[in-house]
Structure 1
């Protein structure tokens, strides 16, 4: 808001404090952190305020072998924790997390026993010939990472009496 007054023969414009606070949609000559904005946004950013701290440049190349080794170690740690989990909910959540990255549980109950995929931990005698050589129960869950066997399930197999 401006007001014109005539004092002592000359006109003088008085600018009120409201005019200075009226939003214009433009930034002032500088921000509170000392970065000027008069450059149209093309000036380099200020350096870190702490000595010895440099801005992050291009990321280092990924060491794929190291990443795979780290992944395998973390999977083994999860399997170890899952085997020892006292809560069914915790074990289930770990299994879901592993499945999310392609590591799936093997519970071959009812499937034909395959010594290349299963480890026999026991036998259950049966008179039913159709059950012979079939997995009766999974004692310890096995795991595959996509198509690679991480741990064979330990199973009980039906055998003929």
Structure 2
């Protein structure tokens, strides 16, 4: 009661501390820019990580914010979505043009391609 008498008690109409404040102009743009910078930093770290556990943790963290790893094994090669890094000869006409292996993992942020996977593609064996 003393706290109420001297004005230190919380007012009934005080704002809820769990409610977000109104963003200042430019906050959204700054947050999006910061997000992109952090994503690029994570991709840089992924490319240099020597531990599979670190790679897994970074990929999991990125996936939690909508950035997915792209591994293309078994997909039909598409130059709009893949970068050819090499070829593997095959005698099987069904495999020709199919991705044999992902050399460097690609990434997409939602539907936006950040980096195409670099892949090895099955190609018809030279006769």
Instruction: Determine if the TM-score, normalized by the shorter chain, exceeds 0.5.
Output: yes
Q: Which residue of 1 aligns with 2:119?
A: 155
Following the alignment from structure 2 to structure 1, what is the Cα–Cα distance between the partners of residues 61 and 108? 14
Deviation, structure 1 residue 63? 1.9
Structure with greater proportional helix content: 2
Task: State the 4+ residue runs in structure 1 displaced beyond 6 angstroms.
Answer: none
Deviation, structure 1 residue 38? 4.8
Q: Is the partner of 1:75 in helix, strand or coil?
A: helix
Number of residue pairs matched? Answer: 113
**Equivalence map 1:12-161=2 (5 Å):** 29=2, 37-39=3-5, 43=7, 60-61=23-24, 63-161=27-125
Indicate the structure (1 or 2) with the bigger Cα radius of gyration: 1
Query: Given the two structures, how large is their TM-score scaled by the length of structure 1?
Result: 0.66
Query: Given the two structures, how large is their TM-score scaled by the length of structure 2?
Result: 0.82
Q: Which residue of 2 aligns with 1:33?
A: none
Q: Which runs of 5+ in 1 are unaligned?
A: 1-26, 30-36, 46-57
